[in-house]
Chains A and B, each alone.
Chain A
Amino acid sequence: MIKVISANRALAEAVRLARPQVIPVYPITPQTSISEYLASFVADGDLKAEYIRVESEHSAISAAVGASGTGVRTFTATSSQGLALMHEILFAAAGLRNPIVMGNANRALSAPLSIWNDQQDSISQRDSGWMQFFAENAQEALDFVIQAYKISENKDVLLPSMICIDGFILTHTVEPVNIPDQEDVDNFLPTYQPKHAYLDPKDPMSLGTFTDPDYYMEARYDMEVAMERAKEVIRTVNKEFEEVFGRKYDLVENYRCEDAEIILVAMGSICGTIKAVIDDLREKGEKVGLLKVIAFRPFPQEDIYQAVKNAHRIAVLDKNISFSIGGVLYNEIKAKIDVDASSFILGLGGRDVSPEDIINIIKQTRNPTEPDVITWVGLKEEE
């Protein structure tokens, strides 16, 4: 059924279809309507789940870890300061190998205080052991949640997933979204059957134990192995999803990259703007393409390399800043792939990025004034 809804609504619909049994959530702009939709689904009996009204995001993710530790499917959602408050427990959730799925409405971090969009919040949690998937639109928000459970719960992965949707740009705008049938989702995503670490009186075990130097490294190494294995699991789940629902996904999306001389690399909603600009420029004969990074973790270095290896130069667009080194996606690509690249910091704290900005980025990438320069797009001169 196609409905015209926001990405927050789409994400909540996906959660309803995935049937988690425990949902601890704390509201925060611009995620709040996700928690409200889920509360109403539970109150109306459309979703049979324990909805826990916690007193903070730290409690929300802690309750999710506890619930997941009993072997039930679990969901939570947050944004920005809330995600930062979860920081400690994000590492615990990944280390305990809890297949929690979380929605994160990407929003700038304070200070200065801002409720508007950038991706600093989730990027800052990149080393927590969570998989991160960035949605371009509301449909992807829905589709990624359903697939994320299947990926996270896979016995070869058992790591939590974060579905990232750009605050306001996606969370509060509406677009047509295809909502799958419950029966199809139930077949694609059967009830979660925990097989590893969970509390069961018939098979008792301790979770989250103290580990001395004899054990810790192996536990962390196992997480690294699982994160690498996740790439293949994601591809398999993407294929199964396409067979049932007809929409095709991968770790990255190549948009008119095949013969492109200039390729833009970006994540999230900005990819929609870039695609429109590319279509215009292609009509004028300019060979430009977009590589949309969907999975930021696990980091799809081979997919990125294959897509950009024949380009003259690439431009990496970052809605984040790691001070004194630059955009995180740019630096990770440069660390792993030998490619000529320009770095652009843009859209911080909700600064608008227009099609003209994208055209200028392409121009600047085609004729770089100096190598490895970091450009802050639309930065105002001091008065």
Chain B
Amino acid sequence: MTSIGATVKEPGSSKNYKTGSWRTFKPILDKEKCIDCENCILFCPEGCINKDYDIDYDYCKGCGICAEECPVKAIKMERE
């Protein structure tokens, strides 16, 4: 972004902004405990967990919904 007039020349550039920087608590998944129920994938409001249960920390804001919804407590929220 050019700061004079706050102009942006690159299309789709909002993805360059890593909203993961907002995070205070980071979700850590224990894949050994995971029962593959897909609850966290469905409930994540940011779509930050993929089918292999990898968490995209570039955009995960650390809301903790995944940890709350996990039926086997496989996700722990750790302070950044």
Contacts and interface: CB of A to CB of B under 8 A. Distances in A.
Given A212-B17, A214-B17, A219 B3 contact: yes
A289 interface: no
B7 A205 contact: yes
A158 B3 contact: no
A209 B1 contact: yes
B37 interface: no
B6 interface: yes
Contacts, number: 50
A196 B6 contact: no
B1 A196 contact: no
- Majority secondary structure of chain A interface residues (helix, strand, loop or mixed): loop
A96 B5 contact: yes
A221 B5 CA distance: 11
A173 to B, nearest CB: 39
Contacts of A219: 3-6
Of the listed residues B2, B5, B17, the one surrounded by the most CB atoms of chain A closer than 10 A to its CB is B5
Interface residues of B, number: 12
A215 B6 contact: yes
A158 B17 CA distance: 27
B3 A196 contact: no
Contacts of A347: none
A124 to B, nearest CB: 25
A381 interface: no
Contacts of B11: 204
A209 B4 CA distance: 12
B27 to A, nearest CB: 22
A222 to B, nearest CB: 5
A97 interface: yes
Contact of A205 (B3, B9, B14): B9
A218 B9 contact: no
A359 interface: no
A215 B8 CA distance: 12
A97 B4 contact: yes
A337 interface: no
B38 to A, nearest CB: 31
22 contacts: A95-B5, A95-B6, A96-B6, A97-B5, A196-B4, A197-B5, A204-B9, A204-B11, A205-B7, A205-B9, A206-B8, A207-B6, A208-B6, A209-B6, A209-B7, A211-B1, A215-B3, A215-B6, A218-B3, A219-B4, A219-B6, A221-B3
